[in-house]
Amino acid sequence: MALLSILCFPDPKLHTVAKPVAAVDARIQTLMADMLETMYEAKGVGLAATQVDVHERLIVIDVSEGRDDPLVLINPRLIWVSPETHLNEEGCLSVPGIYDGVQRHDSIKVEALDGAGQNRLIEADGLLAVCIQHEMDHLMGKVFVEYLSPLKRNRIKTKMLKAQRGARE
């Protein structure tokens, strides 16, 4: 397993729409394992392949308290969302140190392949529902800061660019 580099906002590659995974093969299995290791190391609860510059429809998530219950979603597809929504405080491994409110559906149902390539139906609410919606946005090339006002988004962009410049010096 290997730690992967996480793209940081405003990297334009974060806006790439991911293509479906063609087959759950050894390459995808390795990518899943590397993504999980990267997510755990970065203290995140979810990571989309887009964030590690692989533009395929693959997400890893672990919202368990023990950080020992990983969920893998390959080619996820939302099939139902509740009409009820809540404003949730979100952060993102691609926008480190930034947290803000995003309106998300309270409950969702998602069809996806699991890590073994088997069809699954996942019914989620709470943090898991928020996390799945957040990571699926990444697969569509959308970062959570795009839900914020242009003023907030530009401030975050400036802050991120300044931090990236500082890291290079």
The DSSP secondary structure of 78-97, one letter per residue, reads EEEE-S-EEEEEEEETTEEE
Give residue 51's pLDDT: 98
- The catalytic site residues sit at 135
**SS3 (DSSP) at 165:** helix
**Taking 90 as the threshold, does the pLDDT of residue 105 lie above it?**
yes
pLDDT at 168 over 90: no
3-state secondary structure of 67: coil
The annotation status of 138 as a binding-site residue, yes or no, is yes
- Predicted pLDDT of residue 164: 87
- Percent of the chain past pLDDT 70, that is, above it, reads 99
For every residue of 11-63, DSSP letters joined together read -GGGGPPPBPP----HHHHHHHHHHHHHHHHTT-SEEEGGGGT--BSEEEE--
pLDDT of residue 167 exceeding 80, the answer is: no
Residue type, 61: I
35-45 b/e with 16+ CB inside 10 Å = b?
bbbbbbeeebb
Residue 134, marked binder: yes
131 among the known binding-site residues? Answer: no
Average pLDDT (85-106) is 96
pTM of the model: 0.95
- 82 phi, psi to nearest 5 deg: -70, 150
pLDDT at 45: 97
The model's confidence at residue 169, banded by pLDDT at 50, 70 and 90, is: low
Mean pLDDT value across residues 67-82: 97
CA distance 152 to 133: 21
- pLDDT-derived band of residue 9, with 50, 70 and 90 as boundaries? very high
Band (80; pLDDT cuts 50, 70, 90): very high
Any idea of the CA torsion for 46, 51, 55, 61, to the nearest 10 degrees?
-10
Please determine, for residue 26, whether its predicted confidence score (pLDDT) is greater than 70: yes
Mean pLDDT value across residues 117-145 = 97
pLDDT score for 16: 98
Residue in 136, 134, 33 with CA at minimum distance from that of residue 92: 134
Is residue 31 within 8 A of residue 58, CB to CB? The reply is: yes
